[in-house]
Chain A
Amino acid sequence: MNGWSALDRFLRTDPRDVGCAQAMEMLHIYAELAAAGAPVEERYPGVAAHLRACGPCAEDFEGLLAAVRGKAH
């Protein structure tokens, strides 16, 4: 990726983005469905849009997903 596309991607905002508060409130539901292979991006597009743009929430999601999957194994 070159600088132009990285800057373009950073400045691009998604109107469906629900923000951190709602994403964090829903994260346990979203992670459990994701771990089960459910189509979470279709079911919760606003949370999915947020997780694509917010590094800290995406990090939390990855951690929770790892925790849920660890429990399942």
Chain B
Amino acid sequence: MTDHTAVAAELDAESADWLRALAGTGPQREEALARLHGLLLRIALGEVARRGPRLRLTGPELDDLAYQAAADALVAITSKLGQFRGESRFTTWAYKFVIFEVSAKIGRHFWRHPSVRLDAEGWERLPDQFGFDPAQEAEWRDLLAALHRAVDQELTVRQRRVFVAIVLNNVPLDALVIELASSRNAIYKTLFDARRKLRAALAANGYIGDDGGRCS
């Protein structure tokens, strides 16, 4: 809310050229579309290569994903040209669409070869998730038992489901968005509220320092 203060600005010459060409007709528009697609594809290929080492995707799958992301981004951009307000260069605004498309497609791809079941609860993995040393279990056993109780007693059904999927089962947030037919914002907000509740519960019982906040 308070951050949302950018206002429409005068376009730089390059951005104005892009808008003029893409809003036009005939060969000039076709040339601009082809040029923009080329840029988007280059960004998409770079982005999947950047993320690739952390994904279970191979070369051809990464390339397919990049081509799909560039094509879908081009459609989204041309349908939303009127929303570009000149707050950045046109190309930066356009690149955002293809980055978001790459993220969404990676989230969708997760369920093609899922390594977890959403109804499974990997509580035994929790110490490892946060890096607790097994040799010092006597020091953290009570804390994690209290966390487990708080998850069971303090969270709503939906908050618990999101916590279990993301924290215990390592489901990527964007993949959970697909599975729950939700949005990144809604899932993040659900987890944000769960984190705040869990901290308050642990603080009330003296396990952790007390502070917190709220997310819009």
Measuring CB to CB, which residues of chain A are less than 8 angstroms from any residue of chain B? 1-4, 6-8, 10-22, 24-29, 31-32, 44-47, 50, 53-57, 59-60, 62-64, 66-68, 70-71
Contacts and interface: CB of A to CB of B under 8 A. Distances in A.
B7 to A, nearest CB: 11
Residue of B51, B147, B174, B215 most packed against chain A (CB within 10 A) = B215
Contact of A19 (B2, B130, B208, B216): B216
26 contacts: A1-B131, A2-B132, A3-B132, A3-B133, A7-B143, A10-B195, A11-B196, A12-B199, A13-B214, A14-B215, A17-B213, A17-B215, A17-B216, A18-B4, A18-B215, A19-B192, A20-B185, A27-B96, A28-B87, A28-B96, A32-B89, A53-B192, A56-B172, A59-B51, A67-B46, A71-B91
Interface of B: 1-4, 6, 43, 46-47, 50-51, 87-89, 91-93, 95-96, 99-100, 102-103, 127, 130-133, 140, 143, 147, 167, 172-174, 183-185, 188-189, 192, 195-196, 198-199, 202, 208-209, 211-216
